[in-house]
Amino acid sequence: MYQGNPDNLQALQGRRIAVGVCAGIASYKVCSVVSTLAQAGAEVTVAMTADAQRFVTPLVFQSLAGRPVLTSPWDSANPADPQHIRAAANLDLCLVAPCTMDMLARLATGRADCMVSLLVASIDRARTKVLLAPSMNETMWRQPSTQRNLATLRADGFVVLDPASGWQACRSIGPGRLPEPDQLVDALAEALREALREALREA
């Protein structure tokens, strides 16, 4: 159950939010995020990489969100209506969590070869914020390639959430942990408020 600021839940009501789930043990935390968003009245669309489905099944997220889960670009019932284009065009916000080292590299180099990267590539980030919540082993986090990709993504307009530090499932201790579900929900609410402030400044 969400233990944060109730005002954040109100900010999420009626919002259309995509959650991209990548492969990682931390994906279990995202179940709580999706549940909280749905209970707050948000319309949640979950997209998953093929490997993410080895950790949590699409049926779990479908049950929590109350909506079909995007798992393949080939599943659209109507070829004239690509599901990733339709989903991306209607979003208020997107979160990729856990965002793996591999997904950071995909997004930094403009690849769109899985359902999550394809959805993100279809989002107009000038209009819709995309939040990345990196999660990986602390050695992977410190790799120069990871840090270069993070710098590129920030320069490209992505919002990168800092990972937490602590004990990891690989028995390492250090930075790279996915933030707790309530922290991710709070980050989404704040991103929506920031988008509103930006819109008002431009009006």
What percent of the chain stands above pLDDT 70? Answer: 94
- pLDDT greater than 80 at residue 22: yes
Do 129 and 191 contact (CB within 8 A), yes or no? yes
Confidence (pTM):
0.93
- Residues 105-150 pLDDT 10s: 999 999 999 999 999 999 999 999 999 999 999 999 999 999 999 9
Residue 44 contacts residue 34 (beta carbons within 8 Å): yes
Max CA distance (Å), the chain: 50
**Does residue 172 surpass a pLDDT of 90?**
no
Cα torsion angle, 133, 164, 37, 160, sign: negative
Contact at 8 Å (CB) between 197 and 190? no
Please provide the average confidence, as pLDDT, over all residues in the chain: 92
Give, in words, the CATH class of 10-202: alpha beta
94 a catalytic residue: no
**Predicted local confidence at residue 186, as pLDDT:** 97
Domain ranges of the chain: 10-202
Which one of the listed residues 31, 99, 114, 170 is annotated catalytic? 170
pLDDT bucket at 88, cuts 50 / 70 / 90: confident
Q: Which residues pair with 47 in a beta bridge?
A: 20, 70
What pLDDT is recorded for position 89? 87
* Mean pLDDT value of segment 166-176: 71
- The per-residue pLDDT for 170 is 65
**Between residues 195 and 166, the one the model is more confident about:** 195
Percent of the chain with pLDDT over 90: 77
Inform me whether the pLDDT recorded for 174 exceeds 80: no
